[in-house]
Every structure is written in structure tokens, then in C-alpha cells.
Chains A and B, each alone.
Chain A
């Protein structure tokens, strides 16, 4: 991924003479995912669609969609959030937590979000969902570690050494075979067996999102893709039955889902190929850990924010007009940075799709629906609970 560099055209509020005035509104077509920032699930309606990213002269910047509903974004220092609105108690806590994050990534922001949510200021349901999501990630990490060990046993054992394939082995026997495999390959890497075991655990953490092997379909990213495809199918129904602006809105979101899912599949396939041979994977991790971690985080960057878009559809009250839900969703559809071309270019030529998507996103204009603030906060909390 390219390093964070604020766009040359940005005029942020850092130099604004009057801090009571909002900074100027700017167009926003980020080139890299880091520049696009990470979606922050604020519950304050005014902050819907806000993203965080490392700043130039400040530790963290806020990218806030133009609250008037028009084009462009505000970019301002993290601590200036209260210049825009009065955040909810939950958001005030979240802002403080994110301010302490070192190295803004979807993973570090997700941790800050869950830590804050588990306090309960967005409701008991949100707190329980945050704890459950944490537990699910821990389970996914254990599963990924198990799959890596299976792969290692298959790779390290000479043919015929064991009668049973490792996946059919009893847990105690599998553990013995895994220890033996680790001890057998450790010298190849000039490492102790303990160091190799630790490296496998670290790798398992990196694969938590995309998953490995037979259980990959149950990992966070493939599950999110499945949710997005269900939403996509429902949008198809909307496009076939509705007319006018509603169809345009559904088309925008459906197109963005198509593009995102297509790219995500390439990225997931790349991650799966990395795990095909555990010894090669281990060598990569030992030789160039940052590059491997960056490659395995790509699906997180690509799909960042889409969990909330899916949740908006899934939690929409049945009597709420579909056009309102689509309006809320399309406001959150992220621009796809050009950097995606370098991630999937070896498999896909998405230049034309990317161009079309970016044009649609920029031309889309938001509007205010006149809904009660307390309802919007409640809706945002429900979305936070179901985002995953």
C-alpha cells in the first residue's frame, strides 16, 4: 500500500484562522485506501459516513461527508469533531479512544470501536454484539491456527508415516503430530520449535478475516461477501419493480457491490494461494513480515465500511420506504481508490468499472430526510449491533 499523503488539493482546518468556522468543503477522490481512511461507526447522525486517517501534521484526521448533503467532504483534525456537532456520549468515548490509536488500520480502528461499544454507551445490545464479535475473532484465529497446523503436518510428514490424514486424527494425536512437524521443520528456518509455533499463531491472526482451508467460508470476510450478495440480490428486485430515483440509487449501490465483490474474490484467492504451502508461507513471514501482513490486510481495507451498508439494509424497518434505506446506504458507499488496480491488476482490468463507479459516487447528492435525531441515533446503534 502507498504511504499516506494528503492530497495536494486539500485545505484542512489546521490552518483555519477561526476555529469556530468549519473548514472548506473539498471533493474527495482518494488514490489510496489509507487516504480514503477507515469508516468509523459514529452514532451521531451528523457524523454518518465519517472516516479516520493518519494526518499530515496531526496524528489523526476526520473525513466528514458534507453535512449539507451536497458534494465533497470536510477534512479536519480529530480533536475538532465538536466544532461540527455535539457527539453522543458513545461517540465522545470513541473519539477519545481512536485518538490514542497508533497506526490507523481497519483492524486497529475495529478494536477501538469494539472496546468503546463494549462499555455500553450505545446500548446493551451493541455491547453484547461487540463482545460476541471479539469472541468470534478469537475463535476464527484458533480455527486458522488449526488449519495452518494441518497444512504443516501434511507438508512435513513423510508419506506413509501416519495411517490417518491429519484432519481425521483425534485431537491429542493431532497435537503430537503437529509438535513433531514443527520440530522437524524448525531447523530449516534456523528457528526454535517455539518460535515456529509462535509464528504460526501470528499468521493465524492475520488469516482471521479471510480464513483458511475448509473453514474459510465461515470467516469474517467471506461471510460479509455473502451478506453483500444477498443485499445485491434484493437490490436487483428493487431495480426490477421500482422506477425513477430509487432505481438509480439501487443501481449505484449494486454496481459498487459488484465491483467490490469482484475485487474481494481476487484478494481472497491471493490470500488462499499464500496459505497453500505452509512452509513457503512461514518463510515469507520470517523474511518479509510487513509485506505479508499488508497483503493479508487488503480484504479488510477493501471491505471497510460495507458491513454497515449491509446492516442498514438488513435492519431497515419494514414500513420505512425503500428509498430512505437506499439513500442512507448510498451515502456510505465508499469511493474505490485507484490503488485497487495494483491489488487486482494481475487478474482483472477494472479501469472502466472503476471510472464509472467513481463518477457515480461523486455525482450522487445526499439529501436530508427530516427524520428525528433520536430515531437516527437509535437506527445507527441498531446498525452498529448488526454490522458484525
Chain B
């Protein structure tokens, strides 16, 4: 962070900014979305951008609506591959965020009038304007892919990105082919569940068409599709099939790279599951991909073992997280439930829903007995007590109903 403290658009001193960033990490989804919208609305984001940087892992889960700009539209198809500069490695199937502006400037400089036209077309639009994205995006992606494929290292590359000159080609070799195929990529990812058969066919054609761009591009597109489509195993299956048909060991290795990149991504996500309310969404994706990968790795004992290890780690962490949250957010506050106000009751009920949502997904990793035991124990502790007010009795019944369902709630009625 290099700007003067007083330059922060929201006028905060550095320690306050840090404290606020820290608080935001624990904020609820709604609050996060409000902060992002507020920062996006600033005419000059300046150091307020630090908030967005700190929130990126959460934003990857929440997918908030963001204003469309030339740079954002250009790199929209690459979204799941874009990582924090600190997380980027030379052998990764990823694009560090710090290169986006320099690369966009290269494209913009070459497009001149066309770029100004796109700027005008994007005024007032956001990432939810998919019709306008479908209209404006393909031309920009095609042009951007072509320009980047033949571009040379820009003069300010090292200063602007902190990367080596050689990294330019590594990154562009991944980004340019994907941009060139971005219109079809968008089409495949936007097919609904009703388009399953079409998607398999289009997926096969899309992956085949990038083979000529080299194994790196093939691996990156495979990893990207595995992240964006509902079934990662289907993507890997089709990529494997293409590699087999081509009889090219390099393509086979590319599929392995994509699977490894997906597992790396899962490990990173697993390490970020902090709050229960935000953990469920990430955990759902994580469990689904783990199950898909597990089915995909029968021929690879070492990879299967790595997945089993990852699964065990997530299962253990999930059980602990569930037990702790049950105690902290339900049972402890419920000891004073008779004195609780509307806000406290609403908070307990929200936590109970978070727990239930989490548990439904987490038990797919194992530990069903653990969750059953925890829930039954909670229901016993929450049972209405003699002599309590009717309102307190109803508050208790509701918590039991949220945690265990209506039958348990009816069974807990006094008398």
C-alpha cells in the first residue's frame, strides 16, 4: 500500500483500515456485498480497493454483481483462473490479477477507436447484463486473443506486475487461446441442465479445438471448465477421451495438470472455510468436486490417496467446526433464551439454519453418526422447561424444528 493515508477515499487511517478489513473478513454475505457495491460506486477507488483485495476469497463464493469495464469484460472468460499475485506460480494454470491491467492496456492500445466504442457500450452495465455481454464480448475476446497471442512484453511489465519478462509469454500462452475460444466457452457454461446432451457434444468440440494451441492451453481450459461446470468429472472424462483419441502423451499429462490444479484449488478453498454461513456454499462445491475427482482417479492410486487425505482433513475440520458452532451460537446463547430479544432469537435461528445447511453437506464426507449425536444432544438441551413463558417455549420449539425437523419439534412440546 503506497498511497498517503489521507488519500483514502473513505478517510481512514492505516490502522483503522486494517481493523476494518479484519472485521469485514467475518462479516455476513449481505454486508460484504454492500461494501463491494459501495467501493465499486466510488469514482476513484484508490486505497478502498484494499477492501476488495481482502475480500476476494469471499467474492469468489458470492459472485457479486460488478460494474463492467473494458478490462473486466475482456477477462471475464478467464475468471476462475485469475488468482492473487501472491498465489501465482510459474507452473500454475493461472493468471495473476496484477497482469490484467497491463494486458488490457496492450489490447486497448491496438484497438484504438473500437476500444472507445466498447467503453461507451459498457456505461451503466454490470456483470449481470448477460445479453449485452453476449453481444459485446465475443468481438472483444476474439480481438484480444489475437492481439495477445502475437504481442511482445510491454515496456513497463516488470514494474507494473512484479514478474519476470519471461512470465509474460507463460501467461499469455494460457490467456490468449482461451480468449480466442471464449464465445464458445461462454455458450457451453451457460447451457442449463436441460442442455446436458448438447453440452457434452459442445464440450468435446471446444476442448478439441484448443488442442492445436498446445498442452498448456488445453490443460488451462480443462481446469477452467471443471471449475465452472456443474460436473467436473464430465469435463475430465471428455478431456481424457480427447487425449486418448489423439494418442498424445502430452495431452494426457495436460489432463493430469488440470486435475492437480483443481485439487490445489480445493485445498486452498478448504483452508478458507471460516464462518459457518459462508462455509456451506464453498463446502457444497468442494464436496461435489471431490466426489467427481474420486470417481475419476481409479487408475491413479497416488492421486486417489491425495484426495482421500484431503477428504479426511475436511471431514475432521467440518466436524470440529460444527460442534464448536453448535456450542457457541446455539447452546451457549440458549441458556439465556428466556431473556433474549427479537434480534438475538433471529440470530440463533440464522445460526441453526447455517448449522443445518452445513451438516447436510458435511455428512457426505462421513461422520453421519457424529452429526446425528450432536443434533439430538442439542434438541435435548433445547427442550422447553417447566414454568417458562409460552414465547420462550415457542422459541425453543422453533430452534429444534430448524435443527431436526417438525417431528422432533412436535415431540418436544410439553405435556
B-side binding surface: helix, strand, loop or mixed?
helix
Task: Select B402's contact among A317, A367, A374, beta carbons within 8 Å.
Answer: A374
Query: Which residues of the partner chain B approach A119 to less than 8 Å between Cβ atoms?
Result: 394
Give the docked Cα–Cα distance between A339 and B151 (Å): 69
Contact A241 B394 (CB under 8 A): no
B63 at the interface (CB under 8 A from A): yes
Q: Which of A28-36, A71-79, A120-128, A149-157 is near enough to bind chain B?
A: A120-128
Given known A-B contacts A88-B401, A92-B406, A124-B342, A241 and B132 have beta carbons under 8 A apart: yes
Binary A-proximity of B118-153 (CB < 8 A = 1, otherwise 0): 000000000011111010000000000000000000
Interface residues on B, range: 35 or more
Q: Which of B44-52, B218-226, B303-311, B352-360 is near enough to bind chain A?
A: B352-360
Give the docked Cα–Cα distance between A372 and B403 (Å): 12
Give the docked Cα–Cα distance between A240 and B128 (Å): 11
Given known A-B contacts A86-B406, A241-B130, A243-B131, A374 and B394 have beta carbons under 8 A apart: no
Given known A-B contacts A243-B134, A245-B192, A319 and B62 have beta carbons under 8 A apart: yes
Contact B401 A372 (CB under 8 A): no
A159 at the interface (CB under 8 A from B): no
CB-nearest residue of chain A to B190 = A244
Give the docked Cα–Cα distance between A317 and B33 (Å): 11
Query: Which residues of the partner chain A approach B129 to less than 8 Å between Cβ atoms?
Result: 241
Task: Select A89's contact among B65, B192, B410, beta carbons within 8 Å.
Answer: B410
Contact A378 B406 (CB under 8 A): no
Task: Select A319's contact among B64, B360, B395, beta carbons within 8 Å.
Answer: B64
Query: Which residues of the partner chain B approach A377 to less than 8 Å between Cβ atoms?
Result: 402
Binary B-proximity of A84-95 (CB < 8 A = 1, otherwise 0): 001111001000
B243 at the interface (CB under 8 A from A): no
Give the docked Cα–Cα distance between A244 and B342 (Å): 42
Give the docked Cα–Cα distance between A242 and B345 (Å): 39
B257 at the interface (CB under 8 A from A): no
A375 at the interface (CB under 8 A from B): yes
A158 at the interface (CB under 8 A from B): no
Query: Which residues of the partner chain B approach A322 to less than 8 Å between Cβ atoms?
Result: 128
- From residue B341, how far is it (CB to closest CB) to chain A in Å? 9
CB-nearest residue of chain B to A88 = B406
Task: Select B30's contact among A125, A241, A242, A318, beta carbons within 8 Å.
Answer: A318
Give the docked Cα–Cα distance between A318 and B65 (Å): 9
Query: Which residues of the partner chain B approach A374 to less than 8 Å between Cβ atoms?
Result: 353, 356-357, 360, 402
- From residue A386, how far is it (CB to closest CB) to chain B in Å? 14
| Residues of A in contact, count (CB < 8 Å) | 28
Contact A319 B410 (CB under 8 A): no
Give the docked Cα–Cα distance between A18 and B406 (Å): 25
Give the docked Cα–Cα distance between A243 and B406 (Å): 40
Give the docked Cα–Cα distance between A242 and B405 (Å): 38
Which parts of B278-296 form the interface with A (CB within 8 Å)?
A: none
Contact A86 B407 (CB under 8 A): yes
Give the docked Cα–Cα distance between A121 and B396 (Å): 10
Contact B130 A372 (CB under 8 A): no
Contact A89 B406 (CB under 8 A): yes
Query: Which of B30, B128, B397 has the most chain A CB within a 10 Å cutoff?
Result: B128
B4 at the interface (CB under 8 A from A): no
B112 at the interface (CB under 8 A from A): no
- From residue A193, how far is it (CB to closest CB) to chain B in Å? 44
- From residue A93, how far is it (CB to closest CB) to chain B in Å? 11
Contact B63 A125 (CB under 8 A): no
Given known A-B contacts A242-B130, A243-B134, A372 and B360 have beta carbons under 8 A apart: yes
Binary B-proximity of A365-385 (CB < 8 A = 1, otherwise 0): 001000010110110000000
Give the docked Cα–Cα distance between A125 and B347 (Å): 12
B116 at the interface (CB under 8 A from A): no
Given known A-B contacts A89-B397, A378-B353, A241 and B128 have beta carbons under 8 A apart: yes
CB-nearest residue of chain A to B349 = A123
CB-nearest residue of chain A to B357 = A372
Contact B131 A319 (CB under 8 A): no
Query: Which residues of the partner chain A approach B65 to less than 8 Å between Cβ atoms?
Result: 318
Contact A124 B406 (CB under 8 A): no
Task: Select A375's contact among B131, B353, B391, beta carbons within 8 Å.
Answer: B353
Task: Select A87's contact among B33, B346, B353, B406, beta carbons within 8 Å.
Answer: B406
Give the docked Cα–Cα distance between A367 and B409 (Å): 29
CB-nearest residue of chain B to A377 = B402
B29 at the interface (CB under 8 A from A): yes
Which parts of B247-286 form the interface with A (CB within 8 Å)?
A: none
B398 at the interface (CB under 8 A from A): yes
Contact A121 B130 (CB under 8 A): no
Query: Which residues of the partner chain B approach A367 to less than 8 Å between Cβ atoms?
Result: 193
Query: Which residues of the partner chain A approach B410 to less than 8 Å between Cβ atoms?
Result: 89, 92
Binary B-proximity of A116-154 (CB < 8 A = 1, otherwise 0): 000111011100100000000000000000000000000
CB-nearest residue of chain A to B33 = A318
Given known A-B contacts A123-B349, A241-B132, A318-B33, A89 and B360 have beta carbons under 8 A apart: no
Given known A-B contacts A89-B406, A374-B353, A374-B357, A124 and B346 have beta carbons under 8 A apart: yes
> B residues engaging A (CB < 8 A)?
29-30, 33, 62-65, 128-132, 134, 190, 192-193, 342, 345-346, 349, 353, 356-357, 360, 391, 394-395, 397-398, 401-402, 405-407, 409-410
Q: Offer 18 A-B interface pairs, CB within 8 angstroms, sorted by A.
A: A89-B409, A92-B406, A120-B391, A120-B394, A121-B398, A240-B131, A241-B128, A241-B131, A242-B128, A242-B130, A242-B131, A243-B134, A244-B190, A244-B192, A318-B30, A319-B63, A367-B193, A378-B353
> A residues engaging B (CB < 8 A)?
86-89, 92, 119-121, 123-125, 128, 240-245, 317-319, 322, 367, 372, 374-375, 377-378
Given contact pairs A92-B410, A372-B356, enumerate 16 new A-B contacts (beta carbons under 8 Å).
Answer: A89-B401, A121-B397, A124-B345, A124-B395, A125-B346, A241-B128, A241-B130, A242-B128, A242-B130, A243-B131, A243-B134, A317-B29, A318-B65, A319-B62, A372-B360, A375-B353
